[in-house]
Structure 1
Amino acid sequence: MSGLSRLLKSFNSHRLQEMIPFKYEAMAENIFRFYRGTCHLFYATLNKAKKAIPASPAVWICGDLHLENFGSYKADNKLVYFDLNDFDEAILAPAIWEVIRLVTSIFIAFDTLEIDPNQATNMAALFLKVYATTLCVGKAISIEPRTAKGIVCQFLEGAERGTYSEVLEKRTEKRRSRVVLSLKNERHLKLQKTLKKELKAHISDWIRNSSDGPYNYEVRDVVFRLAGTGSIGVKRYLFLLKSTNTKGRYLVVDMKQSFSSSLKPYIPIKQPKWKTQGERITTIQHRMQNMSASLLSTTVFKGESYVIQELQPEKDTINFKLIKNQYRDIYQVISDMAVLTASAQLRSSGMNGSATADELKFFGRKKGWRKVVLNYAQSYATGIKNDYRQFMKDYKNGVFS
């Protein structure tokens, strides 16, 4: 067994072992999915090189920022936004670490999609320029249908027009005249009866007693849910809720287990004392997003921390494969992602040890760090190919079986 495989197995050892093969299968699909599933390896490597990385202000970061961790979602105010949307790894860390993670994802994703390497370099440089410029302005910006431009506007208008019936159509079926979560969906897995009963009782209690829960709803069904790449292996459940006062109205709610951020071993910055990991995730999400996702909440089930939120439509991220030959569209998306990254840091500035807006503006005016980020991202994108080849060799040899 290679050293890489030992590291992967060790990191995933505290997760559901019967689900981990699905994670390795997803990571084997292509090098970008491998990158998405190995956030911990990325930061272990970055930590070793940190002396060569310019200093940057401490800010709240989502931690695992890449091209597919931006997307559309319905907020509590019922409006649709385009923003950062994954905060499992969120932590107080150097601002530049978040930027390096994203820029590296541009090189890896573009290589996976067989987009011209020069275009990848141009888009990475664009991201850095727009990110720095937004910091210099010092004002957080949000993107929703009325303010979006180009393909992002079209994307959000499509998400806004989408109905909840589309979610229900993909996720549910009728069984004996009752609407239930469909086990024909390959991402839905049947639960053991006792656990299912306990989960239904737990969410019923959350609905009754949490200020974040939906009023006048009851639990009708629950299944285990497989989703994402890096998060495969965590305990994750999907609940179907039915309105008790409006006929035919349903909600689908996701409940996901929370672990400590994989960046924590490498961050010397003092962190707040969170009651639970779920509190860490949702608090930082509230700070960084302009408006938070619908029903965002936390709970503790059987001594383990979870994050709850309303399920978003599956097609909530920009599909770069569809626009790989549309330079202007890619330009707009990358530019918007840079604006949102800087805006999230500005929006959460001055909170619990994070840098102030003035400190971020000062950092944005510096120019030397951009070249360092570009060079490091290109180097990592090249080096990860060796890791991916080793992973695929071990995968095909049954090391992860």
Structure 2
Amino acid sequence: MSIQTATGEHAESDALAPAAADFAARAAYGREARRRTPRSDHECWTPPPDRFDPVALLEEQASTRVPELVPIRHSRMKVSPFTFYRGAALLMAADLADTPVSGITTQICGDAHLSNFGVFGTPERTLIFDMNDFDETLPGPWEWDVKRLATSFEVAGRSRAFPDEERTEINLTVVRAYRERMQRAAESRVLDAWYDRLDADRVTDFVTAEQESQRGADKLAKRADAALAKARTKDSTRAVAKLVERVDGRMRIVADPPLIVPIEHLAPIGRRREQEEDWMRGVLESYRSTLQYQNHPVREFSYAHMARKVVGVGSVGTRAWIVLLRGRDDADYLLLQAKQAEASVLERFLPRSQYDNHGERVVRGQRLMQAASDIFLGWRRETGTDGIERDFYLRQLHDWKGSADIDTMSASAARAYARLCGETLARAHARAGDRVAIAAYLGHSDRFERAIAAFARDYADQNDRDFVAFADAVASGRLESADGV
């Protein structure tokens, strides 16, 4: 097995980047990067003869996770090539490490697939469309996020049985949207580029405008309105009503094993349970120092209960807790999520994070890339009751969150959604990196989007092959899967 570590070319190029206030020099720097690495160089993906064993890499990744939860991760990944892709960020990072890059870096998501975008509430209580998963975030080549996003649409399009020409148009759309939004950001006033975001109230207008020449625009707009209305109901009040019950006069998180397991089921009443709950109280107390507001409302809440929760696809097996907090009275509750943060999958192939704490790495990256972030977002490193130090980040469990239903999405809806995601990724990169240099590299032609669309087709083929190898490993017993979970 051979995994290439990314060279220092990105860092070296950034060291030579012009001063931020010299806009003309930044544009020239981007055009020079295009000369070094032509946009057409991004076009193909061909696996090297000594490419790593994908199953072995997933086994290695699972070695640091909660053993009894790893089979749940495998069961979710084996549902389809798309669910496999969602859990295979490490595999794609290993492959991208040996692909051409422009040498221009930004803060990247590291796992920018289409299911990691959606709507959520801002501190100002408005609903916006943005990226929502930053577990792998790290400074790196902006092209890696674009390639992962475009490939996710190709993989999802195959699962929906979209014809080849429709998948190609969707792939072109997501990258074209990225390029055009980056161009607008590069030409905008500085603060306009920084504050640019997509409010949910504009999503329906966006979908209608995108589809105005297509049949069924009204139907798509109505679906968008319905999805936004549903997202607005997914607040902390509804989360408490769904996940919390009263037991012996006290509020407790409802058990739904193995996905939600209250602390009393993991650690029966006694010294161990007391230690676990004291540990969580310590996390809640100390994490306050990482919040953005000094007089933060979290200080008015107290610990009430906790439960282990299985989250996502790629994150399954990492330690994640739901924490129930009580405010003024029994009608005043808040649910937080405390999620373990491990080293980014990108750190094997890029310079390590400047932050020693991986919870801080996630939070700092999220605050930089998102247009607005959860006010409860913070981090902490604590030694667990098993004596092992782990990093965590905390956030509100539900706050007007909503995402697209991939399983029912039509090709026309996918095309509109592709534009939303492409523009959103560009906004994040423009905020976190050199939008002027990236825009100059992209240029005004369609060369880059055609190259990435071709890459997406090739890499989706690779994902199909890896999925087959993964499914064979499950069928043979090499990997354990918890069916039906």
TM-score normalised according to structure 2 size: 0.75
CA contact (8 A) 1:56 1:95 kept: no
Post-superposition Cα deviations, 1:2-43, rounded to whole Å, max 9, x if no partner, equal: 933222111221222221111111111111111111111112
Moved more, 383-392 or 316-325: 316-325
Structure 2 partner of 1:57: 104
Post-superposition shift, 1:280? 1.0
CA contact (8 A) 2:112 2:149 kept: yes
Structure with greater helix share of residues: 2
CA distance in structure 2 between the aligned counterparts of 1:343 and 1:163, rounded to whole angstroms: 26
216 and 29 in structure 1: CA distance in 2 versus 1, 3 angstrom threshold: same
CA contact (8 A) 2:230 2:402 kept: no
CA distance in structure 2 between the aligned counterparts of 1:204 and 1:307, rounded to whole angstroms: 11
Structure 1's consecutive aligned runs of 4 or more residues displaced over 4 angstroms after TM superposition are 151-154, 207-213
Max radius of gyration: which structure?
2
1:85-234 matches, cutoff 5 A: 85-138=132-185, 139=193, 141-149=196-204, 150=207, 151=221, 152=224, 154-184=226-256, 186-190=258-262, 191-192=266-267, 193-206=273-286, 211=291, 214-234=298-318
What letter corresponds to residue 234 of structure 1 in structure 2? T
What letter corresponds to residue 165 of structure 2 in structure 1? N
Structure 1 partner of 2:9: none
2:439 is aligned with 1:361: yes
Structure 2 partner of 1:383: 462
What letter corresponds to residue 200 of structure 2 in structure 1? P
Partner SS state of residue 293, structure 1: coil
Structure 2 partner of 1:10: 60
Structure 1 partner of 2:394: 308
Moved more, 92-101 or 200-209: 200-209
What letter corresponds to residue 396 of structure 2 in structure 1? E
CA contact (8 A) 1:90 1:261 kept: yes
Q: How many residues align?
A: 386
CA contact (8 A) 1:128 1:370 kept: yes
CA contact (8 A) 1:253 1:309 kept: yes
What letter corresponds to residue 408 of structure 2 in structure 1? L
Moved more, 331-340 or 234-243: 331-340
CA contact (8 A) 1:54 1:369 kept: no
84 and 123 in structure 1: CA distance in 2 versus 1, 3 angstrom threshold: same
Structure 2 partner of 1:352: none
Post-superposition shift, 1:262? 0.6
CA distance in structure 1 between the aligned counterparts of 2:371 and 2:86, rounded to whole angstroms: 25
CA distance in structure 2 between the aligned counterparts of 1:315 and 1:79, rounded to whole angstroms: 12
Structure 2 partner of 1:341: 425
Post-superposition shift, 1:160? 2.5
The alignment's C-alpha RMSD in Å is: 2.2
Moved more, 126-135 or 152-161: 152-161
158 and 343 in structure 1: CA distance in 2 versus 1, 3 angstrom threshold: same
Partner SS state of residue 339, structure 2: strand
Post-superposition shift, 1:294? 3.5
What letter corresponds to residue 365 of structure 1 in structure 2? G
CA contact (8 A) 1:127 1:334 kept: yes
CA distance in structure 2 between the aligned counterparts of 1:229 and 1:293, rounded to whole angstroms: 22
Structure 2 partner of 1:42: 92
Identity %: 20
**Matching residue within 75, 88, 91 for 1:25:** 75
CA distance in structure 1 between the aligned counterparts of 2:118 and 2:81, rounded to whole angstroms: 21
235 and 122 in structure 1: CA distance in 2 versus 1, 3 angstrom threshold: same
Post-superposition Cα deviations, 1:261-307, rounded to whole Å, max 9, x if no partner, equal: 1112222xx55521311111111111110101230000112121111
10 and 163 in structure 1: CA distance in 2 versus 1, 3 angstrom threshold: closer
Partner SS state of residue 180, structure 1: strand
Partner SS state of residue 301, structure 1: strand
Post-superposition shift, 1:70? 0.3
CA distance in structure 2 between the aligned counterparts of 1:204 and 1:278, rounded to whole angstroms: 14
Moved more, 169-178 or 217-226: 169-178
Post-superposition shift, 1:75? 2.6
4 and 288 in structure 1: CA distance in 2 versus 1, 3 angstrom threshold: closer
Partner SS state of residue 299, structure 2: coil
What letter corresponds to residue 198 of structure 2 in structure 1? I
What letter corresponds to residue 147 of structure 1 in structure 2? R
Structure 2 partner of 1:251: 334
Post-superposition shift, 1:369? 2.8
Post-superposition Cα deviations, 1:235-254, rounded to whole Å, max 9, x if no partner, equal: 111100111x2550111100
118 and 134 in structure 1: CA distance in 2 versus 1, 3 angstrom threshold: same
103 and 197 in structure 1: CA distance in 2 versus 1, 3 angstrom threshold: same
2:122 is aligned with 1:75: yes
Post-superposition Cα deviations, 1:159-216, rounded to whole Å, max 9, x if no partner, equal: 2344433211221122112221001365212332245323332245247766455131
What letter corresponds to residue 66 of structure 2 in structure 1? L
Moved more, 175-184 or 366-375: 366-375
Structure 2 unpaired stretches of 5+: 1-51, 186-192, 208-220, 268-272, 384-388, 481-485
CA distance in structure 1 between the aligned counterparts of 2:162 and 2:399, rounded to whole angstroms: 27
CA contact (8 A) 2:304 2:325 kept: yes
Partner SS state of residue 298, structure 1: strand
**Matching residue within 405, 409, 413 for 1:319:** 405
264 and 204 in structure 1: CA distance in 2 versus 1, 3 angstrom threshold: closer
CA distance in structure 2 between the aligned counterparts of 1:22 and 1:308, rounded to whole angstroms: 23
Post-superposition shift, 1:155? 2.9
CA contact (8 A) 1:88 1:261 kept: yes
Moved more, 369-378 or 197-206: 197-206
